[in-house]
């Protein structure tokens, strides 16, 4: 059954392409007012024109805490859904405007800060995109910023995705303790052909994308189910088929590391220190 989001406001980060755009278009079809929170507002405006209904474009760079604070400071109205979709993956070590390793900074610390700053306005759900790559992640509290560890793209990405699951779980724990009805849910879109692979070298990746990857519209299905389906807080929603990599949406399992509540608390505390943003309820 198609949900009716008429009169609701939905924020989708990174909505100018890929899964984010497919998700934003679907929410617009559901009747929501959709805010495209994007780094490049010209590209965002072009993408927003492809979505039916009421849309708005606002500038947001998750690799820059000052940009995140500006976005949040300008927000003064209820948010039904916050979709933490934007993410990145880079082959070489790069850093955010604040000096964080780019993948950890953009994929985890940025959404962490944005969510907590907007939390007083959120009435429905926070959906954070992760990946089954979280199973290969490891939170190294001695070197969260990759200052001494030899950088490897896949390891850094997997760690950021593990951080996403741990963040969502700890957020739900804190929401429940605060008596909030807001739900925190994690979504894994599966293997999707998007521009996140543009800087991934090798013919193997290109061949796998061509033969096995699904399109952004299918990748958006777990996100939409996480946002509007009958699911409890701290759910992890992914595709139904091919080892949870393609088609449909259903609850899926997570790694032992992603279920470690003590690591989730430690990561939350570390993220507060790094961003200067704390739980706001």
Please report, for the domain that includes residue 87, its CATH number.
Answer: 3.40.50.720
Helix, strand, coil content of the chain in percent (nearest 5): 45, 15, 40
Residue 189 within a domain: yes
DSSP for residue 215? P
**pLDDT tier for residue 211 given thresholds of 50, 70 and 90:** very low
Residue 2 within a domain: no
**Residue bearing the bigger pLDDT, 180 or 211:** 180
Q: What percent of the chain has pLDDT over 90?
A: 84
**Residue bearing the bigger pLDDT, 32 or 241:** 32
Least confident piece of the model among 93-102, 103-112, 190-199: 190-199
Residue 131 within a domain: yes
Taking residues 132-149, report their average pLDDT.
96
pLDDT of residue 2: 77
Give the total number of structural domains in the chain.
1
Tell whether the model's pLDDT for residue 208 goes beyond 60: no
**Active site residues per annotation:** 157
Smallest Cα–Cα separation from 122: which of 43, 192, 180? 180
Taking residues 165-186, report their average pLDDT.
98
Residue 52 within a domain: yes
**Residue bearing the bigger pLDDT, 143 or 243:** 143
β-strand pairing of 122-129 with 79-84: parallel
The domain of 145 spans: 9-274
The structure's pTM equals 0.92
The rounded distance, in Å, linking the Cα atoms of 158 and 138 is 8
Residue 4 within a domain: no
Beta-ladder partners of 126: 82, 184
Residue 253 within a domain: yes
Residue 3 within a domain: no
Phi, psi of 273 (to 5 degrees): -65, -45
Residue 87 within a domain: yes
């Amino acid at each position: 059954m198609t949900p009716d989001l008429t009169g609701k406001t939905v924020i989708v980060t990174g909505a100018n392409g890929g899964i984010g755009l497919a998700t934003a278009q679907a929410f617009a079809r559901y009747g929501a007012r959709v805010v495209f929170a994007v780094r490049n507002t010209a590209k965002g405006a072009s993408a927003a024109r492809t979505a039916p209904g009421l849309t708005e474009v606002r500038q947001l760079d998750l690799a820059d805490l000052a940009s995140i604070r500006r976005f949040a400071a300008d927000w003064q109205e209820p948010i039904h859904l916050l979709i933490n979709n934007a993410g990145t993956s880079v082959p070489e070590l790069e850093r955010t405007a604040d000096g964080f390793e780019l993948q950890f900074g953009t994929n985890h610390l940025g959404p962490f800060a944005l969510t907590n700053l907007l939390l007083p306005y959120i009435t429905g759900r926070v959906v954070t995109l992760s990946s089954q790559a979280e199973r290969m992640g490891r939170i190294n509290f001695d070197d969260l910023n990759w200052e001494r560890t030899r950088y490897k793209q896949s390891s850094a990405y997997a760690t950021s995705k593990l951080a996403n699951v741990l963040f969502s779980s700890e957020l739900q724990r804190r929401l429940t303790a605060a008596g909030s009805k807001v739900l925190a849910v994690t979504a894994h879109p599966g293997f999707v052909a998007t521009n996140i692979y543009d800087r991934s070298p090798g013919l193997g990746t290109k061949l796998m994308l061509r033969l096995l990857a699904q399109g952004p519209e299918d990748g958006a299905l777990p996100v939409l189910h996480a946002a509007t389906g009958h699911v409890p807080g701290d759910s992890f929603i992914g595709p139904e088929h091919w080892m949870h990599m393609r088609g449909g949406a259903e609850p899926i399992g997570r790694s032992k590391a992603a279920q470690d509540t003590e690591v989730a608390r430690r990561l939350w505390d570390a993220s507060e220190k790094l961003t200067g943003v704390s739980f706001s309820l």
